[in-house]
Structure 1
Amino acid sequence: MNGPPDQLTVAHRRDAARTPASRTVADLLRTEPVTGRADMTVREAATLMTERDQDYVVIPLPDHGLGLLTDADIRARVVAAGRGLDTPVGDIVDGPAFVVDSRTSAIDALTELVDRDLTVIPVRDSDGRVLGVVGASDFVADPAGSSMPLREQISRSQTVEELQGHARRIPQLVADLVRRDRPAHEVTQVASLIVDAVVLRGLRLVVDSRPDVDPAAYTWLSLGSNARREPVLSSDVDSAVVFDDSLETAELDAYRAAFAELDDLLRGAGLTVDTNGAVASKPLFSRTRTQWQTAARAWIDAPLENRGMIFTSLILDGRPLFGSRRESPVRTPGVEMIGALRADPRTMRLLLDESLSTKARLRSMRDVLTRRPGAFDVKANALTPLINIARWVALSVESTEVNTRARLQAASGSALLTDDDATTLTEVFDVLQRVRLRYQVAQFDRGETPTDVLEMGRLSPLDRSLVAQAVREIAGVQRRMAGMSHYQVN
């Protein structure tokens, strides 16, 4: 190991340099697309699939969208439904299908495939031409797809003990991706997909199997870093639940007891669950839809009371994981809040002040800049201010994005965030996450508990310089936003 004895370093895999830093779905395509017609019969489509040795047919639609017919569709919508094989494909296919641009990153496409529970995704070029489709097997050779076998094992776990055993391999997976020198946002997206799988399987095993629980009566929301697809080894699993209004108060207590059992399962899986924080087993974070709506209105009307600002920020970061994730996102509390928040300039101003109140603390770096050893909380003093900025600017342009990088992109060029500042903050975010991940993987390798508090003397001189520069950049954007804010909020 290079460097001083106490310096934390991560050994890179020898094959890391052989894999491009960023791959697109175009790089994963292996065959020409199988294309049919809406007026062809299901029998003809099935024959075409067999001839091409594929399990799908892409169907161009009149509105320039694409339909998609798969083997699974034929089994579910034709055979099981008692329809004949001479049924026109147009009567079977729902459209339009979800499509990605050929320039989409492999990890973003994989995330969409998993989130939407799709078999394949059609890929189009910038001219709208269908280049092919990608499915789960196409990601296996890609570093981003290295998580797929573990995710599959987690999803198929039959017992709590089996699930926990698979889940305890998450740190090794994260460490391997870091050693492969994968981009930080790719590492955290992969980690979030695995955490999602653990939570979903845990819900099936210990919650939905209970006779007093109806899986259709609640929606599970991921909160915090995992909702933003930015978890690291030190991250908590935060959550909230939206109950159907038909449930009685006594029934809600039974659900919360089941969610507490899930908390225990997750702890046994090596994940961190803060029972004093944002978890669905607590009444503050498990409410009926009407209760959430009432609470949201109260936070908007009186944001300084009852921790309204904190709750608003948490819910705005919520991502549906189970339940309404297949329904319109308008039904989730976070999205419902956005319009109401935007309509109240006073509340928007308070949210902006709250976002800018957590300063990127350059002065706390004094020991680093003078080359004296010191400790720096990278989450509290750098990442949280940046994440707050991204949340606010996304809200200001009415974006429903949750991911920090996506929020910055959505607001780039707006009145409060110039293109240059958006680019700078994205680069800074990537740098801080990369340093944070490498530090935590090095701690994990040494048997230490991964932490967000960086002992600066254990970083390389380059990383110390990068962290110091990142804090200065965030602080600079905060000052510019504070000066420009009156143009956006009045």
Structure 2
Amino acid sequence: MDGLARFLGSNPPFCSLADPDLEKVTAAARVVDHPAGALIVDAFASAGDDLFVVMAGQVELWTTDGGADEPADEIVGQGCVFGHTTALTGAPIGPRAVALGPVRLVEIPRAAVAAAFSSPEGVRFLAQDLAEDRVRAAAPARFRTVDDLVVSAPVLGHAGMTVADAARVMTERSSRYLAVPRGNGEFGLVTDGVLREHVLAAGRSADTPVQDVMIPRAATARTGTPTADVLHRFAEDRLDQLLVVDVSGALRGAVDPADFLTSPSGAGMMLRENVRRAESIDQVVALGRQLPVLLGDLVRQRREASETTAVYSTVVDAVQRRVLSLVLAGRAALDEAEVTWMLLGSNARREPTLGSDIDSAVVFAESVDSPARATAYRAAFAEVADVLRRAGLRVDSHGATPSSPTFSRTRSQWRAAAHLWLDSPLDNQGMLMASLLLDGRPIQGDPAQPVVNEVFADVRDHPGTMKLLVRESLSHRAQVRSVRDVLVGRGGTFDLKGHALRPIVEIARWAALSVRSSELSTRARLAAASGSMLLPAEQAKTLIEVFEVLQRVRLRQQLAQFERGEPVTDVVWMRRLAPLDRSLVAQSVREIATVQKRLFNIVQYTSPSEWGAR
């Protein structure tokens, strides 16, 4: 009983109670254990008489009475209180609570908690809870696309105006930019930075024509573009402004990095900026340790899984770039300009989770022409990997890292190796390397398309090789039977990645390649190949939906593993999944298996030259 009193007294709203009142609450409380998947309370069906405090484990909460197939609105852990709203009001207004895993709860009758909620701490607790409910209710509808970030009408100028005219208009409109129409949907751009660098610092006159100093072709985004994609544009292209245009090419406004501070992606933007400005490796390590918190916040905002991982990957990219720069800066004989750092796998596709390994490769400049110099760089890359591990990231343990000669070569060496893999995919791990490198994305150094991608883009011109690669990818079957075994008690675990997500990623990669798409993300690849022989539109739509469902389950499960202090893996105990998630996983795997079966027949009896036909 003393331990229960200490536990309650350390959490709001009970922490402000006087000892006699706390003793009354403790005496009325009972500690109850619930198994994974158990329905704890459904306060939409009837008003509850108890409130609940989580002692151990996690609970999924539905705060709106939606359909049974809707994902939980939030996941709460130790110290969190729920059920108080319906208990205090006596009205059936939710929530519905289900044990995410084995859960221990303190259940307290309504009559015993009046003192707690009438205290100053209790009033603050209720006020904060109400504010958070309002935020949760608004979050799903806001900041989904770039349109939501545009807050003012466009600021336009013309080619005949002077620098002084442009500065005056920007001042009058309190704008950090001015756009100059050039025709054909293109715009010149004047920003505060342009005026500082090209006018003041260059000693130009205020009468200088604005077209002499403006950025000749401004970066633009189409209305409807997801905010996560816009965030990547800022991160990777180092933009000050991004103009927003509609389908007709008309300017609708502009966004800059500061606009993200008001969006749910703002925390990711701020963390990325702090990483970029870090002056020491220890600072980057400390910031990298915040990544699980960022990911947890994004998941609890009920954002789409693809958007969540895209924002998360922006910060992971920034950590890697900064670590590489700091490590190479500490080695005077090495030059960062000779290195193009390329991400592979899920990080390249902007789909990483807490359990994702960082696979990477390096393209050396041709000036790295001696074994000794390459060895010196690889030693630095090994240090980069060590720092990333200190920052809480997982570096591939199977050798897909630039500290290995296999994954760090000059441009010409990569080209020669890629041609060998195309000609003889069964030799020297050719099929594995093809799959890895087709997902390559450079995050530092030469932004041009990596040479390996250039070579593999022509894999359609090697029909035998392409057919072999696709057939190999289809060998990673969605294991419907394994899931059924689990559901009826004949198994205990399920590999979300190996038996469900990986088959979708493989299908998306080769279907996109068949239509010569350069997209990287799985969703974008499926969309690009939709309607082709390999991937009919309805099946593409299904796989996009299934991928979202599985990634959402994967994100939640890995966060739960992390918060329980367990190893973060893609293998889940099915009994720990909520009943809804178990059903979604089983149905998803059946859908994937159906697509795979059709694809296998298509690949058997048609030529790769036909696969891209629509």
CA contact 2:276–2:322 (8 Å) conserved in 1: yes
Shift in Å, 1:79: 3.5
Q: What residue is the counterpart of 1:478 in the other structure?
A: 596
CA contact 2:288–2:392 (8 Å) conserved in 1: yes
Q: What residue is the counterpart of 2:473 in the other structure?
A: 355
Please say if 1:20 is aligned against 2:140.
yes
Q: What residue is the counterpart of 1:489 in the other structure?
A: 608
Give the partner amino acid of 2:578.
S
- Secondary structure at the residue paired with 1:464? helix
Give the partner amino acid of 2:537.
D
Please say if 1:469 is aligned against 2:499.
no
Please say if 1:340 is aligned against 2:458.
yes
Distance 1:373 1:340 in 2: 43
CA contact 1:412–1:419 (8 Å) conserved in 2: yes
Q: What residue is the counterpart of 1:126 in the other structure?
A: 247
Q: What residue is the counterpart of 1:459 in the other structure?
A: 577
Instruction: Flag the structure with more relative contact order, 1 or 2, with Cα contacts below 8 A and sequence separation at least 6.
Output: 1
Q: Following TM superposition, where does structure 1 have runs of at least 4 consecutive aligned residues deviating by more than 4 angstroms?
A: 6-10
Give the partner amino acid of 1:471.
V
Deviations 1:15-46 (A, max 9, x none): 42321256211122111111111222222212
Shift in Å, 1:374: 1.4
Q: What residue is the counterpart of 2:367 in the other structure?
A: 246
Distance 1:429 1:378 in 2: 11
CA contact 2:418–2:456 (8 Å) conserved in 1: no
CA contact 1:49–1:57 (8 Å) conserved in 2: yes
- Which range is displaced more, 371-380 or 419-428? 371-380
Q: What residue is the counterpart of 1:158 in the other structure?
A: 279
Please say if 1:291 is aligned against 2:291.
no
Give the partner amino acid of 2:417.
A
Residue 515 of structure 2: which of 389, 397, 414 is its match? 397
Distance 1:434 1:339 in 2: 31
Whose strand proportion is higher, 1 or 2? 2
Please say if 1:381 is aligned against 2:411.
no
Q: What residue is the counterpart of 1:311 in the other structure?
A: 433
CA contact 1:316–1:337 (8 Å) conserved in 2: no
Residues 40 and 298 (structure 1), Cα distance of their counterparts in 2 relative to 1, 3 Å cut: same
Distance 1:236 1:178 in 2: 20
- Secondary structure at the residue paired with 1:454? strand
Q: What residue is the counterpart of 1:50 in the other structure?
A: 171
Please say if 1:100 is aligned against 2:221.
yes
Which residues in structure 2 correspond to 1:31-430 (within 5 Å)?
31-249=152-370, 250-325=372-447, 328-329=448-449, 332-371=450-489, 374-430=492-548
Across the aligned residues of Structure 1 and Structure 2, the Cα RMSD in angstroms comes to 1.9
Distance 2:206 2:277 in 1: 33
- Which range is displaced more, 262-271 or 273-282? 273-282
CA contact 1:234–1:450 (8 Å) conserved in 2: yes
- Which range is displaced more, 252-261 or 6-15? 6-15
Deviations 1:62-88 (A, max 9, x none): 333122221112223333444433332
Q: What residue is the counterpart of 2:54 in the other structure?
A: none
Give the partner amino acid of 2:331.
R
Give the partner amino acid of 2:332.
P
Give the partner amino acid of 2:562.
F
Shift in Å, 1:307: 0.2
Gaps spanning 5+ residues in structure 1: where?
Answer: none
- Which range is displaced more, 11-20 or 43-52? 11-20
- Secondary structure at the residue paired with 2:307? helix
Gaps spanning 5+ residues in structure 2: where?
Answer: 1-30, 38-57, 61-74, 77-131, 610-614
Give the partner amino acid of 1:308.
G
Give the partner amino acid of 1:257.
A
Give the partner amino acid of 1:266.
L
CA contact 2:343–2:443 (8 Å) conserved in 1: yes
Q: Which has the larger radius of gyration?
A: 2
Residues 212 and 9 (structure 1), Cα distance of their counterparts in 2 relative to 1, 3 Å cut: farther
Shift in Å, 1:6: 4.3
- Secondary structure at the residue paired with 2:351? coil
Residues 58 and 357 (structure 1), Cα distance of their counterparts in 2 relative to 1, 3 Å cut: same
- Secondary structure at the residue paired with 1:324? coil
Identical columns (%): 49
Shift in Å, 1:90: 1.9
Shift in Å, 1:176: 1.3
